[in-house]
């Protein structure tokens, strides 16, 4: 079983507020009950039945010989397969096969590469990724994409989004010579207004970035809690992971945690603050690069196990998305893997050509790669996971030549290399993302009442996590959306 994360997202302190919230909740339940009794779902026949299959999920572990019945977008029955099959709808023989919950990619950028955006939903689905979380993009570009993906007839993963990276007075991704993904949040007032505007625009969570000041960080956290928005983040450069981490729900890339694990962490923090103060003319991107260049490898070399123990203890309740396929890119660049060539043929041609060309050049001109950062990310993931820190699987697709969908399976493999079992790795791509949004009663496992997102595999993912790529069928929102030709 994976560790349970309990986060209090509400700032309600008075009894009155508590009762108001309870009444509101009762009212929504009543409304929901009325709606459910009015809809025709209970009258409709089951749409899909998967018989005699082995179920594997992070809540129940492994259950062999089960029959799962779906009606529209719900699992309506999970029972031992013995006895006559009363099921109707399309019947799929699951013997010798394995059923896992639909996978999440917990870190994607749908609008990062324009030529890829339209192709991404289908690519995700054919690799079993039935939910994605977009962790940074301008609302202007993002909202039309979200709207298309959420249209009632769309064949697309479920999608959750944050809008822009909430950065400091300087913005790392400022659109000058690189993508525009961030927005400046210069003051605590600004923080409140920005979060309120994001909530109005429908954002599902916020993402705090690296150049915010500590007071803006605090104001963003408070504003998000007031509006019940989960909080994703990088550890800001001028803060320590042990101080920032416990205030938020998630940290991406293990970013700047190594700086807190160094014996000289306090001195490094002072140095970062000095650089930020002195280098006023540097762009946000250059400032971050300068700091990283000066501090990351020395911090890793100065790793202090006793100090890191305190850091990890402080992060016990903060979901980590280590994006190992990106952090550990140098260990196995995508173009060097045997299945890259077949996967890349699925990508739209202009990108396919660019990426293939890049890969060929790299392979033709091999060079020594620095593996210290990559190895440290795997090491830290293992250490943190063993101490009960929860983990989620995200890839940063399409950054770093990440093929949508395909790259998630690499992330699962790297989580296992770091020390998770295959079942825990599957949990990181199913149950933990659902928990981040408080949706674990609806998503992340195979049980009655859960949404009908499922992946049928031809080989046992507990025997080898790489078997999550052996996909026989993908079901999204109750519909069979992918089935390779026999
Ligand atoms: Zn990202």
Structure letter (DSSP) for residue 178: S
Residue 45 is predicted with a pLDDT of 78
The Å distance, Cα 88 to ligand 1 centre, comes to 43
CA distance 346 to 301: 41
Domains annotated for the chain, with CATH where assigned, are 40-102+445-486 (2.30.40.10), 103-443 (3.20.20.140)
What distance lies between CA 87 and its chain's CA centroid?
Answer: 35
The Å distance, Cα 403 to ligand 1 centre, comes to 14
Q: Do 173 and 285 contact (CB within 8 A), yes or no?
A: yes
Strands laid side by side in the 103-108 sheet: 103-108, 129-134, 158-161
Residue 47 has pLDDT above 90, yes or no: no
Q: Do 359 and 334 contact (CB within 8 A), yes or no?
A: yes
Residue 175 is predicted with a pLDDT of 93
The Å distance, Cα 2 to ligand 1 centre, comes to 25
Structure letter (DSSP) for residue 451: B
Residue 89 is predicted with a pLDDT of 85
Mean pLDDT of all residues in 29-54: 64
Q: Do 51 and 92 contact (CB within 8 A), yes or no?
A: yes
The Å distance, Cα 50 to ligand 1 centre, comes to 36
The Å distance, Cα 253 to ligand 1 centre, comes to 9
Residue 59 is predicted with a pLDDT of 98
Residue 210 is predicted with a pLDDT of 96
The Å distance, Cα 411 to ligand 1 centre, comes to 14
pTM for the model: 0.90
The tokens describing 479, both together, are: 């519909």
The Å distance, Cα 136 to ligand 1 centre, comes to 6
The Å distance, Cα 109 to ligand 1 centre, comes to 6
Q: What does the pLDDT look like over 52-72, one tens digit per residue?
A: 999 999 999 999 999 999 999
The Å distance, Cα 104 to ligand 1 centre, comes to 15
Nearest to 59 by CA among 442, 433, 427: 427
- Which residues, in sequence order, are bridge partners of residue 74? 71, 451
CA distance 399 to 175: 16
The Å distance, Cα 181 to ligand 1 centre, comes to 9
The Å distance, Cα 299 to ligand 1 centre, comes to 23
The Å distance, Cα 323 to ligand 1 centre, comes to 9
The Å distance, Cα 433 to ligand 1 centre, comes to 16
- Which residues, in sequence order, are bridge partners of residue 53? 66
End-to-end CA distance of the chain: 35
The Å distance, Cα 261 to ligand 1 centre, comes to 23
Mean pLDDT of all residues in 105-114: 97
- What sign has the CA pseudo-torsion 93, 95, 100, 105? negative
CA distance 75 to 91: 14
The Å distance, Cα 427 to ligand 1 centre, comes to 21
- Which residues, in sequence order, are bridge partners of residue 391? 320
Residue 111 has pLDDT above 90, yes or no: yes
pLDDT band at 383 (very low <50, low <70, confident <90, very high): very high
The Å distance, Cα 17 to ligand 1 centre, comes to 36
Residue 84 has pLDDT above 90, yes or no: no
The Å distance, Cα 234 to ligand 1 centre, comes to 10
């Amino acid at each position: 079983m994976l560790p349970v994360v309990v986060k209090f997202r509400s700032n309600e302190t008075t009894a009155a507020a508590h009762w108001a919230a309870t009444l509101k909740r009762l009212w929504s339940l009543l409304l929901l009950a009325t709606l459910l009794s009015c809809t025709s779902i209970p009258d409709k026949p089951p749409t899909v039945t998967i018989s005699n299959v082995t179920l594997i999920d992070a809540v129940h572990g492994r259950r062999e010989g089960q029959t799962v019945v779906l009606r529209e977008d719900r699992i309506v029955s999970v029972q031992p397969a013995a006895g006559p099959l009363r099921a109707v709808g399309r019947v799929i023989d699951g013997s010798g096969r394995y059923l896992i919950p639909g996978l999440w990619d917990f870190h994607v950028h749908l609008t990062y590469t324009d030529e890829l955006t339209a192709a991404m939903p289908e690519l995700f689905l054919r690799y079993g990724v039935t939910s994605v979380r977009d962790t940074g993009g301008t609302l202007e570009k993002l909202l039309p994409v979200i709207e298309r993906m959420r249209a009632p007839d769309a064949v697309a993963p479920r999608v959750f989004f944050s809008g822009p990276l909430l950065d400091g007075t300087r913005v790392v991704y400022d659109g000058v010579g690189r993508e525009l993904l961030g927005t400046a949040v210069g003051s605590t007032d600004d923080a409140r207004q920005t979060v309120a505007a994001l909530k109005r625009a429908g954002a599902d969570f916020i993402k705090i970035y690296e150049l915010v000041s500590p007071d803006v960080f605090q104001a963003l956290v408070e504003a998000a809690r007031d509006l019940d928005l989960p909080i994703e983040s990088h550890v800001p450069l001028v803060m320590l992971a042990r101080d920032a981490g416990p205030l938020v729900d998630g940290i991406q890339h293990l970013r700047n945690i190594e700086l807190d694990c160094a014996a000289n962490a306090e001195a490094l923090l002072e140095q970062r603050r000095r650089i930020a103060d002195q280098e006023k003319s540097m762009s946000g991107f250059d400032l971050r690069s300068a700091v990283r260049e000066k501090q990351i490898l020395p911090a890793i070399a100065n790793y202090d196990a006793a100090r890191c123990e305190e850091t990890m203890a402080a992060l016990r309740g903060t979901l980590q998305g280590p994006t190992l396929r990106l952090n550990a890119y140098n260990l196995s660049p995508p173009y060097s893997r045997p299945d890259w060539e077949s996967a890349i043929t699925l990508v739209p041609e202009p990108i396919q050509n660019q990426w293939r060309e890049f890969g060929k050049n790299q392979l033709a001109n091999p060079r020594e790669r620095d593996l210290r950062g990559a190895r440290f990310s795997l090491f830290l993931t293992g250490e943190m996971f063993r101490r009960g820190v929860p983990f989620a699987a995200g890839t940063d697709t399409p950054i770093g030549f990440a093929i949508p969908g395909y790259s998630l399976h690499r992330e699962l493999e790297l989580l296992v290399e770091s020390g998770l079992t295959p079942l825990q790795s599957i949990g990181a791509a199913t149950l933990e993302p659902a928990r981040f949004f408080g949706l674990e009663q609806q998503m992340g496992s195979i049980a009655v009442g859960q949404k009908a997102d499922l992946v049928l595999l031809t080989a046992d993912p507990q025997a080898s996590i790489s078997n999550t790529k052996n996909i026989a069928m993908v079901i999204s929102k109750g519909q069979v959306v992918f089935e390779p030709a026999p």
